[in-house]
Chains A and B, each alone.
Chain A
Amino acid sequence: AQKITQTQPGMFVQEKEAVTLDCTYDTSDQSYGLFWYKQPSSGEMIFLIYQGSYDEQNATEGRYSLNFQKARKSANLVISASQLGDSAMYFCAMSDGGSQGNLIFGKGTKLSVKP
């Protein structure tokens, strides 16, 4: 069975500093996708970044980068130059390579950015 593990319930970071949010996964599929979503207190799930299991290069989107280490089954999110607006819940998620169309979410990490 597939599983996503986020071991940091909460993280603090100083404004303008970088922060890494951890995510490990477990799957027997060869083809899968890894996602990070941001969920502010308003509730909307905001897509941040995607990494495919066959992508050789780490994904980057602006201040977000995904540190993909396939052998270790980890997909950590790095946020550079943190901003106050980055304070939110962050979910790591995985899709299977089959036809189920399901996203499996980790328990999330609550990030708080301090001024």
Chain B
Amino acid sequence: DTEVTQTPKHLVMGMTNKKSLKCEQHMGHRAMYWYKQKAKKPPELMFVYSYEKLSINESVPSRFSPECPNSSLLNLHLHALQPEDSALYLCASSQDIPPGALEAFFGQGTRLTVV
């Protein structure tokens, strides 16, 4: 099973809403990632969790709050987002960090629209 599952697939939220994106993998991977991808651009790294601990935060605004409840789950809590935060949010996992010798598996992404 080489699958990373993200829910929801689509999300529309207002600027005052609070919502969460969820990511799940059952491959026993110990590193999980959140990427943000704007239209016609490559993905940009937001957060990396290694062994359920946050190891990288790429200067992401505090309105994005990651959480790793266990080794299989990764959440991204959203609060007071701006319209420019509308993007495709991709979750990925790999056996370990760095992924230098190991491929990262990606989910299908959540298309987020902030209105």
Chain B interface size, as a band, is 20 to 34
State the main secondary structure of chain A at its contact with B. loop
In the complex the two chains form, is A100's CB within 8 Å of B97's CB?
A: yes
A interface footprint on B34-77 (CB within 8 Å = 1, 0 otherwise): 00000001111100101000011000000000000000000000
A102 touches B45 (CB 8 A): yes
Q: Mark A64-108, 1 if CB is under 8 A from B, else 0.
A: 000000000000000000000000000100011111111101111
Query: How many cross-chain pairs have Cβ atoms below 8 Å apart between A and B?
Result: 77
Q: Which residues of B contact A46 (CB under 8 A)?
A: 106
**Contacts of A96 on B, CB cut-off 8 Å?**
98, 100
Task: Tell whether, in the assembled complex, residue B104 and residue A47 are in contact, meaning their CB atoms are under 8 Å apart.
Answer: yes
Collect the chain A residues with CB atoms within 8 Å of residue B105's CB: 47
CB of A115 closer than 8 Å to a CB of B = no
Asked whether A91 and B42 contact (CB < 8 A) given A101-B56, A102-B48, A102-B56, the answer is yes
Residues of B within 8 A of A (CB): 31, 33, 41-45, 48, 50, 55-56, 88, 90, 92, 94, 97-109, 111
